[in-house]
Amino acid sequence: MSSKSQSSVLHKFKGVIFSTMSSEELLNSLDSFEAREDDVFLVSYPKSGTHWIAKVIENIPNARITLTPPIELGDISKFEELKTYCERRVIPTHLSYSMLPMNVKQKQCKIIYIIRNPKDIAVSFFHYYKDNPNLPSIETWHEFFELFLKGDVVYGSWFDHVLSWEEHKNVKNILIISYEEMKKDPSKNIKKIATFLGLNMTDSEINQIVWKTSFTEMKNNTAKENCDPNHTICALTSNRNLVFRKGAVGDWINYFTSKQKRVFDELFTEKMNEKQTPYEKVSCVRDNY
Q: Active-site residues: which are they?
A: 94
Q: At how many degrees (to 10) do helices 258-272 and 158-166 cross?
A: 30
Q: Is 239 exposed, middle or buried (0-12, 13-18, 19+ CB in 10 A)?
A: middle
CA distances from 272 to 164, 277, 285 (A): 12, 10, 11
